[in-house]
Amino acid sequence: MNVLLIEDEIELSDGIVHLLKKSKFNVDAVYDGEQGYLSGLSDRYDVIVLDIMLPKMNGFEVLKKLREEKVTTPIIVLSALGQTSDKVRGLDLGADDYLAKPFQPEELIARIKALLRRKTDVINEDILTIGDLTFNASSYELICNNKSIKVSLKESEILKYFLARPNFVVTKDELIIKVWGYDSDAEYNNIEVYISFLRKKLQFIGSTVSISTVRGAGYRLEE
Ligand code: CA
């Protein structure tokens, strides 16, 4: 999961980065509004954490411009102002959540996780397809031509995650967080085992879709 942190107070920024990394997030920290806006345009972030009082361009402007550019990435606004009017203004401009300073860093992490859960809930279709492969998420069946095979609950969750982002690299950390949960102690070899099950099942039904290994990065579902 990738987080963009736009915060000019170095000490606070470092603290948040440290905590996010501990929770297995990738974080990019930038220190002014202009850089924040430019970085925010990229669609590689799952969440943006945005301070209001920033050099070069304030957070409200950054928020407004990102939404004008149709960037839909969830945004949590941080503000020292902490007044109701600022909160309303932030939410009005398209923020998804608001946190008043000073806050406990754990509170921010909890808000980020809540936003991510909301985001993934949206991808919840029962029939998913790619190439010659169909996955029925309600019957846990992988289907190709006339052949089909059942998958387990975990395999199903892994598949759904891959099918939502075909041809994109999915890291092992992402899979741990999304499938096993933030607080799990699942390890890379747990994932490797499930990936090998899935590969065997894809082969069994004769699909041209496969899960390839991207060395040093993770996996990719491809036709
Ligand atoms: Ca600031």
AA identity, residue 142: L
84 alpha carbon – ligand 1 mean position (Å): 18
Confidence at residue 101, expressed as pLDDT on a 0 to 100 scale: 84
Q: Could you report the per-residue pLDDT of 155-207, keeping only the tens digit for each? A: 999 999 898 888 889 999 888 888 887 777 888 888 999 999 999 999 999 99
55 alpha carbon – ligand 1 mean position (Å): 8
Instruction: Burial-class residue 216 by CB neighbours within 10 Å (0-12, 13-18, 19+).
Output: exposed
- Give dist(CA 148, CA 133) in Å, integer: 10
36 alpha carbon – ligand 1 mean position (Å): 12
Residue entry with tokens 């925010």:
40
1 alpha carbon – ligand 1 mean position (Å): 24
Low-confidence residues of the chain, pLDDT below 70? 81-84, 118-125
Give the phi and the psi of residue 40 in degrees, each rounded to 5: -65, -25
27 alpha carbon – ligand 1 mean position (Å): 18
Confidence at residue 124, expressed as pLDDT on a 0 to 100 scale: 52
110 alpha carbon – ligand 1 mean position (Å): 21
Tokens standing for 90?
A: 């932030």
- Give dist(CA 1, CA 47) in Å, integer: 8
48 alpha carbon – ligand 1 mean position (Å): 15
Helix/strand number for the chain, H first, E second: 8, 12
Predicted TM-score (pTM) of this structure:
0.56
Confidence at residue 118, expressed as pLDDT on a 0 to 100 scale: 66
